[in-house]
Amino acid sequence: MGGGGLLADGFAPIAFDLAGTSWLVIAIDGQTLGERYSDLATVHFTQSMLHWQACNYHEGLYVPTRSSFAAGRAVATLVNCPQDTPDPAMAQVLGGRPLIGSNSEGKIQLAVEGRSLTLSQIDRRYNEPPAPPLEAGPFRLMTEDGGTHPPVLSFKGGTFSVWLDCADAITGQAQVSEGRMRTSKVVPAQCETHRPTTRRTLETFFRSSPAIARGPNGELMLSDGDIIIQGQQCYPDPSGCDHVKRTAQAGPDGDLGGA
């Protein structure tokens, strides 16, 4: 067995290289899909979006990780599906940072503990929906200690900054292209924060030039290969980032709120 027992015989682990490809699901857990489900099930990767369809249609952001990919929150249609639909198995695999393997026939297998999808490539392309401009509004970042005052990431003129209890808690240069936020000169500011560990973690994270994916409604995903950070752009409704403005108005001795 390849891939630590997750992959079937004949499949060898490979790194993620699926952007721009489309696939037909031909088997689930080694069982041919046609034996249990009459309609087609497909998986499609654009540069930033993962689309997949079985009984229901699903789409959401994804980012490459060290050897796989991580899927973000998805939207889906709400068809009342039969009991034997492949949707639950596909959701478990695609949402589980699966091990990826390929065989000599060009097929790939996506595997998590106890589940696998076997895929055959098809000639189909999904268009990448345009995302709002980076500078249209800042992004609130969903971190574990974000609380009611989550960190806020902003872009302007080839630079980025992170608000974390104070303005410009982390700053640097950034070029965003081809699914990568290429950073340099990343430095922390000398300002007060009650979350110094979070600042150090974010500083290291942004120094890594993380992968970035953005969606048409301002959705954001970032990955340094291990850590995944999701976010939401405060545009066209800026209220999600109002805590940054309120803290700035309060000054260094103002109430920073709980995290």
Q: Is the pLDDT of residue 255 over 80?
A: no
Average model confidence (pLDDT) for the chain? 91
Q: Region 169-198: what's the mean pLDDT? A: 94
Q: Region 78-104: what's the mean pLDDT? A: 95
| pLDDT for residue 256 | 31
User: Whole-structure pTM over 0.75, yes or no?
Assistant: yes
Cα–Cα distance, 255 to 257 (Å, whole number) = 6
Q: Is the pLDDT of residue 253 over 60?
A: no
Q: Region 41-62: what's the mean pLDDT? A: 96
Q: Give the tokens for residue 19.
A: 């952007």
| pLDDT for residue 4 | 65
Residues counted in the chain: 259
| pLDDT for residue 3 | 61
Q: Is the pLDDT of residue 213 over 50?
A: yes
Using pLDDT thresholds of 50, 70 and 90, give the confidence band for residue 249. Answer: low
| pLDDT for residue 258 | 33
What count of other Cβ atoms lies within 10 Å of the Cβ of residue 125? Answer: 10
Q: Tell me if 57 sits within 8 A of 76, measured CB to CB.
A: yes
| pLDDT for residue 247 | 72
Cα–Cα distance, 137 to 204 (Å, whole number) = 24
Cβ-Cβ contacts under 8 Å for 17 (sequence gap 6 or more): none
| pLDDT for residue 250 | 56
Cα–Cα distance, 218 to 231 (Å, whole number) = 8
- Amino acid 183 reads T
What count of other Cβ atoms lies within 10 Å of the Cβ of residue 68? Answer: 19
What are the angstrom distances between the C-alpha of 213 and each of 29, 51, 129, 229, 232?
30, 14, 12, 11, 11
DSSP conformation letters of 239-256:
GGGHHHHHHHHH-TTS--
What count of other Cβ atoms lies within 10 Å of the Cβ of residue 178? Answer: 10
Cα–Cα distance, 240 to 232 (Å, whole number) = 9
Domains of the chain (ranges plus CATH)?
Answer: 3-122 (2.40.128.270), 134-250 (2.40.128.270)
Q: Rounded to the nearest 5 degrees, what angle is found at the Cα of 163, between the Cα atoms of 240 and 172?
A: 130
Query: Residue 44: enclosing H or E segment and its boundaries?
Result: strand 42-45
Cβ-Cβ contacts under 8 Å for 249 (sequence gap 6 or more): none
In tens, the pLDDT along 119-162 reads: 999 998 888 889 999 999 999 999 887 788 999 999 999 999 99
Q: Is the pLDDT of residue 118 over 70?
A: yes
Three-state SS for 180?
strand
Could you give the percent of the chain with pLDDT greater than 70?
94
Using pLDDT thresholds of 50, 70 and 90, give the confidence band for residue 184. Answer: very high
Q: Is the pLDDT of residue 251 over 60?
A: no
